[in-house]
A and B are shown apart, each in its own frame.
Chain A
Amino acid sequence: MSEQSKKMIYLQPTPVRIWHWLNALGIVTLCVTGAQIRFPEYVNIFGTYKSAIALHNTAGIVVAISFVLWITYYLVFAGTLKQLYVPTKGDIQSGLLRQAIFYFFNYFRGKPNPHHTAPDNKFNPMQKAAYLVIMFVLVPLVIVTGFMLLNIEPLRNTLLMVGGLKMVAGLHFILACCLCAFIFTHFYLATLGHTPFAHFVPMWTGWEEAEEELEEQKQPH
């Protein structure tokens, strides 16, 4: 390991970092206010029920707008959405398994991470698969169901078409629990870098300290 050299790479552009922390704050706020809204007899963090609802609605709208900006940024301006988030054929055939073996077996044996972070390849195959489901299924669905619950009267017929208010509210709750579970996992996995804070720093500064083996550098390009 002494043969390794440290190299800084610009991994997280400013819009992505702003989006990430806005989302983080938004989703945590939504989880906590959501808990008060669902269990008002037991949870009272924000004083009145009404303030919990107002905060939940505001945070929901902020996260929804932030999601639209995020998808617009990646699709229109960066143009790297597919490259970063959609697993390749190789990822599905072997990458997922290799990454899983690393996380659940080789990591404990002290073996290196098979994935090397780069600006055009930020996520390992497991991250790609997870983020694909989260960002393209869970988050849009939780936003859509939340939007419907915010506009019950004008969307009455739409609500009935999808199985009724209870179906939408139940789905919103279950999706929210999934996102809450994701936050725990996400936070923990972020500590699995070469130092516990290695993945937190680039999300704040944009720069990640990358490890590159000298042998790789010596190879002719």
Chain B
Amino acid sequence: MRQLNKPMYLFLSLVLALFLGASAATAMESADCLACHSDADMVGDAFAINEGQFDTTAHAEMGCSGCHESVTDAHPDDGLTPSKASCKDCHDDINKEYTLSVHGSSAACSDCHNPHQVKSATEVAGFDMNRQCATCHDTVEMTKLHDQWLPQAGLHIEALPCVTCHTGSENYVITMYLLQRDAKNRYSGFVPASREDLAKLAGEQPIQALIDSDGNGEISLSELRAFNGNPQFKELRLWGMMTPEKVTHTFQILDNRWDCTFCHASGPEAMQTSYVAFPEQDGSYARLAVEKGAVLDVLNGTPDFYMMGATRSKWLNIAGLLIILGGLVMPVGHGTLRFLTRKNREGKGH
């Protein structure tokens, strides 16, 4: 192996030192920023960042200066306002489809998305998506509006993220969330179960073990049945929502969503994929896959998830058919014997 000469050795050392120094500076920079900006008392609510939530975002990987390029080491003493990146600098495709949509002129990216808390679509609970929409579109008003044409509008709005119908999103699955009610007041409404409350119930085990009892990272039908039948969890219930896997920003009113059969005639085949989403510490949700077709179970698999036309059970259909066929026993069986023995009744008036 050829020995490195002295100038070359010095050059490589310099490059390495610069590289390590730059990496350290970036890491230091974000930590420095958050030393102040994670404290609302110090910087005010408008500039405060939830460090726990920010750390898990894709944006955190870029560091603060990735978007606020002009920030200097002298900030804030330099008196300069750091620059802000435009979302479209990185998300140009999304920006294009969004600006063309009916929503494009009504709200900017940051009106719906907090860049310091962004999560991928499948990490956001369906009801949290709707909460975001409700900041402008009041839920009561929207329910009234939908009530004009949509049967059980309130129920639909509870079971569907708005984007399921109002964007061109695709690949719908059933995502179930744990809801809970106050054990002391069983007539209280159900609200999303917090991670803390679930952790108390789970004890030393991870909260997923409340349902995924064998800890294999997948929820079987028998585990769902055991969870639903467990009296210890009687204040919990699984609330299923139909959520898109691939969310688009093409906000629109799609013609086929006026037609109930778009969802309700999708058949049991569309009900095969489902998940249970558990709350994480940062407010996002992590999903565990559920056994294929589990939401079609007759009773205790998902006792509170029923979608007319789509979640019909094969076994109940067979039972229903047998009952109806039972009703044909008299006309067919008795009728045949009646026809064969008709001569016995001739002239007897019956």
Contacts and interface: CB of A to CB of B under 8 A. Distances in A.
Interface of A: 1, 4, 37-41, 48-50, 53-54, 57, 103-104, 107-110, 112-113, 152-153, 156-157, 159-160, 163-167, 169-170, 173-174, 176-178, 180-185, 187-189, 192-195, 211
A184 B327 contact: yes
A40 B259 CA distance: 12
Interface residues of B, number: 54
A88 to B, nearest CB: 24
B172 to A, nearest CB: 16
B155 A153 contact: yes
Contacts of B346: 110
Contact of B324 (A40, A50, A169, A180): A180
A189 B335 CA distance: 10
A32 to B, nearest CB: 13
B231 to A, nearest CB: 13
B186 interface: yes
A184 B328 contact: yes
Interface string B126-142: 00000000000000000
Contacts of A41: 265, 267, 309
Closest 8 CB pairs of A and B: A181-B327, A164-B303, A110-B344, A40-B265, A177-B320, A49-B260, A188-B331, A184-B327
B309 A170 contact: no
Contacts of A152: 152, 155
Contacts of A181: 323-328
B304 A107 contact: no
Given A103-B334, A195-B350, A211-B349, 13 more contacts: A37-B309, A38-B309, A108-B338, A159-B304, A166-B303, A166-B305, A169-B306, A170-B316, A177-B320, A181-B323, A181-B326, A185-B327, A188-B335
Contact of A1 (B328, B337, B348): B348
30 contacts: A1-B348, A41-B265, A50-B151, A54-B151, A110-B341, A153-B154, A157-B186, A163-B299, A164-B303, A165-B306, A166-B298, A166-B299, A166-B303, A166-B305, A169-B308, A170-B298, A174-B320, A177-B324, A180-B324, A181-B323, A181-B325, A181-B327, A185-B329, A185-B331, A188-B334, A189-B330, A192-B350, A194-B350, A195-B349, A195-B350
Interface string B74-88: 000000000000000
Nearest to B326: A181
A167 B316 CA distance: 11
A159 to B, nearest CB: 8
B309 A167 contact: no
B350 A112 contact: yes
Given A37-B309, A107-B338, A184 B304 contact: no
Contact of B327 (A50, A104, A160, A180): A180
Contact of B151 (A53, A103, A182, A193): A53
Contact of A112 (B260, B347, B348): B348
A164 B304 contact: yes
Interface of B: 151-152, 154-155, 158, 186-187, 189-190, 228, 237, 259-261, 264-265, 267, 298-299, 302-306, 308-309, 311-313, 316, 319-321, 323-331, 334-335, 337-338, 341, 344-350
B349 A170 contact: no
B260 A50 contact: yes
A166 B321 CA distance: 19
Interface centre among A103, A156, A180 (most CB of B within 10 A): A156
B102 to A, nearest CB: 24
A90 B271 CA distance: 54
A84 to B, nearest CB: 22
B261 A49 contact: yes
Nearest to B316: A170
Contact of A188 (B237, B306, B320, B330): B330
A4 B327 CA distance: 34
A177 to B, nearest CB: 4
Interface centre among A112, A184, A187 (most CB of B within 10 A): A184
A37 B308 contact: yes
A4 B324 contact: no
Contacts of B324: 177, 180-181, 184
Interface centre among A41, A53, A159, A174 (most CB of B within 10 A): A41
Given A50-B151, A173-B316, A194 B349 contact: yes
A113 to B, nearest CB: 7
A151 B323 CA distance: 27
Nearest to A53: B151
Contacts of B344: 108-110
B327 A163 contact: no
Contact of A182 (B327, B329, B334): B327
Contacts of B350: 107, 112-113, 192-195
